[in-house]
Structure 1
Amino acid sequence: MSVVDWFILGVILVGLLVWAITGRVFYTLIYFALFSLGSFIYRLYDSQSFIDAFFSSFGLVDILILIIALAWFIDKLKKKRNQS
């Protein structure tokens, strides 16, 4: 794995840690949205075209949204169990 892969993995783990500590999916969504925006800006700064940067960041956003959706689903299951 390259340094960039380790960095992205670290950012995802920190995002999941934020969700675990706060217990709110909304904060995690904001965290990952800001990360995706930062990734997009970095790609533009790195001399990629607007379209390439957008689609590269969009792929990353898809992965992050899947992680958030899974976390949200787990959160809903926990709440449903506690109500029973």
Structure 2
Amino acid sequence: MHPGQTQFPYILISENTDLAGGCHDLAVNGVEIGVGVSTFRSESDFQTIYDTLSKIGTDFALIQAEDLNFKGDGRFARVFGHIK
């Protein structure tokens, strides 16, 4: 991590666990995984992450969550709380 560097929150939706694993190299503070949803923060821009994931697999959705306004409980709260 670089001091002062902007970190972007991301949500990856996929049943392919290889894709979630591919996010680890780009993530700051790891990746949280649960119920087909993975969340992480990264200093990388959207296109860099999308291109990296596209090389690993298909059938995924990548969301850059600019202003995460989330309420929930259980596993979803843990997963989304990771990037809040």
- TM superposition score normalised by structure 1: 0.24
Structure number with higher strand proportion: 2
- TM superposition score normalised by structure 2: 0.24
Structure number with higher helix proportion: 1
User: Whose relative contact order is higher, 1 or 2, with alpha carbons under 8 Å and at least 6 apart?
Assistant: 2
